Each structure stands twice: as C-alpha cells, then as structure tokens.
Amino acid sequence: APGNGQDTSLLAKPKPKTQRPPMYKVLLLNDDYTPMEFVVHILERFFGLTHAQSFDIMLTVHKKGLAVVGVFSFEVAETKVAQVMDFARRHQHPLQCTMEKE
Ligand code: TYC
C-alpha cells in the first residue's frame, strides 16, 4: 500500500498450490457383543495388518470406544467400510465401522 512502508511486492512470489485429494479415516467402534477374535480376524483380513497389530487395535477400540484403523482415499475407505459391515452382518455381529474426512 502507498506510504505504509510495507511493500512486499519484490519478495512475494505466487505459490502454486498443488491440490491433494482429501483422505478418510476408517474408524472401528466398540460394542458389548462382537467377539474379540472376530474383530482381530476382520483387521487381518480387510486391512492387511499382522495379528499383533490387529490385536493392539482391537484392544484400543475395546478400551477407548473407537480407534482409527487406517487412512485411505475416499474410494478405498468406502470399500473397506462396506466389506467390514457386510462381513459383520453376515456373521450376525453388531460391529460398526465408519469413515470420516481427515
Ligand atoms: N467389546 C467387545 C467384547 O468385549 C470386543 C470388541 C472390540 C468389539 C472391538 C468391537 O470394535 C470392537 N467382546
């Protein structure tokens, strides 16, 4: 601005902002009925986690109420949620899995 002694026009260069797609957290929710081993199996089967990683996440959900299982693109997150919900429903467990924008 004129007169204010704060001209940055010689230093300010335009910053091209590269657009990155939003990422989505897949969350697993606790309940009182789904067997612990079933949850561990789901984490191994659909998220490619080791047995130890799966057991840790299952215990976190059991103790804290929920946990982030992983962060994925919208399409991948949607698929994981659908796979978990379908598998739980087919086995008649009330397990809930949801996604949330990061
Ligand atoms: N709370 C369940 C039980 O005591 C175990 C459990 C863990 C259920 C994680 C859901 O996402 C879950 N059998």
The tens digit of pLDDT for each residue in 30-70 reads: 999 999 999 999 999 999 999 999 999 999 999 999 999 99
Please check the confidence at residue 16 and state whether its pLDDT lies above 90.
no
Instruction: Say which DSSP state 2 is in.
Output: T
Over the stretch 52-62, which tens digit does the pLDDT of each residue have?
A: 999 999 999 99
| Secondary structure of 3-71 in HEC code, one letter for each residue | CCCCCCCCCCCCCCCCCCCCCEEEEEECCCCCCHHHHHHHHHHHHCCCHHHHHHHHHHHHHHCEEEEEE
Q: Which residue has the tokens 């230093």?
A: 11
List the residue whose alpha carbon is closest to atom 13 of ligand 1.
Answer: 35
Task: Say yes or no: CB of residue 35 within 6 Å of ligand 1.
Answer: yes
Other CB atoms within a 10 A radius of the CB of residue 28 amount to 26
Between the CA of 20 and the centroid of ligand 1 the distance, in Å, is 35
List the residue whose alpha carbon is closest to atom 5 of ligand 1.
Answer: 36
| ipTM of the modeled complex | 0.98
Task: Say yes or no: CB of residue 54 within 6 Å of ligand 1.
Answer: no
The CA angle 54-100-48, to the nearest 5 degrees, is 25
